[in-house]
Each structure stands twice: as C-alpha cells, then as structure tokens.
Amino acid sequence: MNCLLKVSNLKAIYLVREGTIKATDDVSFEIFENTAAAIVGESASGKSTIIEAMTRTLPPNGRILAGTVEYKGKDLLKITEEELRTIRWKEIALVPQAAQQSLNPTMKIIDHFRDTIQAHGINWSKDELISRASEKIKMVRLNPETVLNAYPMQLSGGMKQRVLIALALLLEPKILILDEPTSALDVLTQAHIIQLLKELKRKLNITLIFVTHDIAVAAELADNIFVIYGGCLVECSPTVEIFKNPKHPYTKGLINSIMAINADMSKIKAIPGDPPSLLNPPSGCRFHPRCEQVMDICKKVRPPLVQLSSGTKVACHLYEEGGYGE
Ligand code: ATP
Ligand code: SF4
Ligand code: MG
C-alpha cells in the first residue's frame, strides 16, 4: 500500500497564562492511499490539535515545536504559505470541528462555493461554478436546485454537514480530513453521513482521515484506528485487529466501554479515574495514574511506540522486549 502522508514526531502546544498545554506529544503515523483512518480518543485528548498542527490551522496561541508532515516529498510544516495554499483544498481538504457554525447565515450556499474558489484564486464563470457546485451537491445526495439557493438556517444539521463535505470536495482533493463529522447529529443522521463517506471513498478513490470521540463510529468507517490518550498516540492498528485484540490498557478500556447494549452489563467496566491535565501531564506513561497494570518503570519512562507482529503499534511497557503483554 502506498503511504500518502507521513506524520513524524509531531509536537504541538498551546501557550496559556498558566504555562503550556502539551496537547500533541511526539505523535507519528502513516496514512495509506485510499484508506480511511480514524483518530479516536476522549474529549480534550488532543485529536483536533493533531489535525490543526498537520494542516497548519492552529489557533494563534498554538505552536508546533517539532515534527514533519510529509506529503509528495514535501514537509507541509516547512513549505511557504504560498505553496501550502496550492495544496489546501486542491490536494488536502479539511472540514474542521463544528464547521457548521462557520457557515455565514447571511450568505446563500452557492455564495459559500463562490467564496471558496475565490480564496484559492480560481476564476470560474458563474455557469461553471453552478455546474461544479451542483455536481458536488448531488454527490452528497442533496438537491442542488433547493440547496444552492438556501441560507444555512434553512437546512438541517445533517444537510449542513453534507454541504460542508460538498464544499471540501469542490477542488477534488486526494485527502479529505474531517474533524468530528458526525457529532451533534442524531443517530440516524450520523448513520447516513457514515454511509455517505463510505460511498465517496469508494467512488472517488479518496483518502479519509477523520476524528471521532466515538470508537463505534470509527469501527463503521475506518480501515485503521489511531488511539490518542493525553496528547500521545498509544495504539495504532487495523480496525478489525483493534476490536479483536486490543493491546493498550486504555484501548481495552475503550472497547470494553462500548461492548454495549446486548453485552452482560456486569462485565462492562468504565475506565476509572479522570483524563490527565495537559498543563502538567503525568510523568512517564501519561496513562499510568489510571492503569491497572502500572509498573514502576511506567511512572518514570515514557513507553516508545513499538511494532508488534500482528501489525499493531503500541506504546506500553508491557509490550517491550521482555515484556509480557503479547
Ligand atoms: P474534543 O473531543 O473535545 O474536540 P480534542 O481531543 O479535539 O477534544 P483538543 O481540542 O485538541 O482535544 O484539545 C487538547 C487540549 O488542548 C485540551 O486540554 C484543550 O483544553 C487544549 N486546548 C485546545 N485548544 C486550545 C487553545 N486554543 N488554547 C489553550 N488550550 C487549548
Ligand atoms: Fe499501563 Fe504502564 Fe502500559 Fe502505561 S506503560 S499503559 S501505565 S502498563
Ligand atoms: Mg476536537
């Protein structure tokens, strides 16, 4: 499989009055062509920060301290703003978290399409714009005649999410990144969006990277799952493998907590304890205060991400040479 995007040792922080929030700490992963990768973790674990650092869209108090993001032989973190502009949307498009709120309530949907091409220096005629926007709106299974002339407030949450996906597809990117594409939607609408993304991936040969706090959504759509805990990547695995055989104690807890509805409730264990503060994260393994299998070394030494024979990569001392995790 062809590696399309390679993130190595990415480190990003936020500057706040009290110090620095260590939101992305030494995160590395690879994205393969025509696959869907899910970045999964609980709220405030640093999922959006990874996406924003990769795409250089961090808020003003965010800083990238280290790392590379390789795409087609270039480091996206090093290229000029001008070069980045040629890659954004045309090669890599992003639908940020809560993007629905960024739709301008005073502008019709077609005007959002016009703004997008203008922002990228493209001069299509009015007819061409309408034709291309209609094509994308149809692709997300909406009716262009009504939707393009509607104002955002006339559309439901699910329709707005489809419009945002259509907008992101306008310049036919190779990689589509979506931050929480299904949150804040009802269960049925969520299922439709997941179905739509599956269909787009198949039809357009597009590569998807999406963020979700819901591992069940990841299970539906992703080929590979990256589990984030406290700003660190703790497990990276093919989806089937992660459900069959989760390795990291945190991943096991996550999977356990969704063995829902038909499972024997007495066997379901929520993960005890609270997520770590990223202002003063725990030393060594950031999961150690919550881990039932904690050892002395875990409090002192951060576990490296190691590759196991199953294809899984895991950052846990239990799986290092001589460990007894496998
Ligand atoms: P959610 O699921 O709630 O969207 P997330 O996993 O995407 O969460 P991030 O938004 O990446 O998490 O946040 C990671 C950490 O960085 C959190 O502790 C959060 O409070 C903090 N953070 C995020 N944005 C900022 C900011 N602009 N300034 C300061 N801290 C921030
Ligand atoms: Fe638990 Fe130690 Fe593994 Fe961290 S490194 S998950 S504390 S066993
Ligand atoms: Mg987020």
Does some domain include residue 52? yes
Domain total for the chain?
1
Residue 272 — pLDDT band, cuts 50, 70, 90? confident
Least confident of 214-218, 241-245, 287-291: 214-218
Confidence band of 325 (pLDDT split at 50, 70, 90): low
pLDDT at residue number 251: 95
Give the model's confidence band at 232: pLDDT under 50 very low, under 70 low, under 90 confident, else very high: very high
Mean pLDDT of 38-46: 94
User: Which of 234, 300, 306, 317 should be mutated for ligand 2, with most atoms under 8 A from CB?
Assistant: 317
**Contact of 225 with 218, CB cutoff 8 Å:** yes
Among the residue ranges 107-116, 162-171, 262-271, 316-325, the one predicted with the least confidence is 262-271
Query: pLDDT tens digits for 122-181?
Result: 889 999 999 999 999 999 999 999 999 999 999 999 999 999 999 999 999 999 999 999
**Edge-to-edge strand ranges of the sheet holding 232-238:** 92-95, 175-179, 207-212, 36-40, 224-229, 232-238, 313-314, 306-307
Q: Domain for residue 154, yes or no?
A: no
Which residues are within 8 A (CB) of 61 and not within 5 positions of it... i.e. 6 or more apart?
14, 15, 16
Tell me the DSSP string of 264-287. -GGG--PPPS-PPPSSSPPSSSTT
Q: Rounded mean pLDDT of the chain?
A: 93
Residue 316 Cβ contacting ligand 2 at under 6 Å: yes
Query: What's residue 269's pLDDT?
Result: 60
Query: Which residue is associated with the tokens 């005073």?
Result: 106
32 neighbors 2 (Cβ within 8 angstroms): yes
Q: From the alpha carbon of 213, which atom of ligand 1 is closest?
A: 2
Atom of ligand 2 at shortest distance to CA of 295? 2
Residue 6, phi then psi, degrees to nearest 5? -125, 115
Whether 158 maps to a domain, the answer reads no
Q: Return the DSSP state at 88.
A: B
pLDDT at 15 over 70: yes
Q: What is the pLDDT of residue 322?
A: 61
Residue 172 DSSP label: -
Question: Above 90 in pLDDT, residue 277?
Answer: yes
Task: Identify the band that residue 231 occupies on the pLDDT scale cut at 50, 70 and 90.
Answer: very high
**pLDDT at residue 268, rounded to an integer:** 52
Percent of the chain's residues with pLDDT above 90: 82
pLDDT bin (cut points 50, 70, 90) of residue 323 is low
Q: Is 142 helix (H, G, I), strand (E, B) or coil?
A: coil
What is the domain extent for residue 197? 3-91+173-319
- Residues with CB under 6 Å of ligand 1 are 14, 16, 21, 23, 41, 43-49, 59, 61, 97, 213, 278
Element (H, E) at 164: helix 157-169
249 lines ligand 2 (CB under 6 A): yes
Residue 185: inside a domain = yes
Report yes or no on 137 lying in a domain: no
Ligand 1 centre and the CA of 267: distance in Å?
A: 32
pLDDT for 158 equals 94
pLDDT at 100: 87
Distance 49 CA to ligand 1 centre (A): 7
CATH of the domain at 193: 3.40.50.300
Tell me the CA–centroid distance for residue 289 and ligand 2, in Å.
9
Q: Report the separation in Å between the CA atom of 10 and the middle of ligand 1, taken as the mean of its atom positions.
A: 16
Q: Are 50 and 62 in contact (CB under 8 A)?
A: no
pLDDT band at 265 (very low <50, low <70, confident <90, very high): low
pLDDT for 264 equals 54
Atom of ligand 1 nearest to the CA of 279: 18
Residue 126: how many other CB atoms lie within 10 Å: 9
Q: Note the ligand closest to the C-alpha atom of 297.
A: 2
Q: What is the distance of C-alpha 56 from the center of its chain?
A: 14
ipTM surpasses cut 0.85: yes
Residue nearest to atom 3 of ligand 1 (CA): 43
- What region, left, alpha or beta, does residue 105 occupy, with left being phi > 0 and alpha being psi -120 to 50 degrees? alpha
Tell me how crowded residue 21 is: count the other CB atoms within 10 A of its CB: 22
Whether residue 221 lies inside any domain: the answer is yes
Asked if residue 281 has pLDDT above 70, the reply is: yes
pLDDT in tens, 177-224: 999 999 888 899 999 999 999 999 999 999 999 999 888 899 999 999
Q: Is residue 243 part of a domain?
A: yes
* Residue 103 forms part of a structural domain: no
For residue 73, the model assigns a pLDDT of: 93
Separation of CA 84 and ligand 3 centre (Å): 23
Over residues 19-30, mean pLDDT: 97
- Percent of the chain having pLDDT more than 70? 95
Q: What is the pLDDT of residue 321?
A: 73
- Is residue 234 within 8 Å of 49, Cβ to Cβ? no
Mean pLDDT of all residues in 43-62:
97
**CA angle at residue 56 from 53 to 57, to 5 degrees?**
90
Burial of 6 per CB tally in 10 Å (0-12, 13-18, 19+): middle
Nearest CA to ligand 1 atom 10: 48
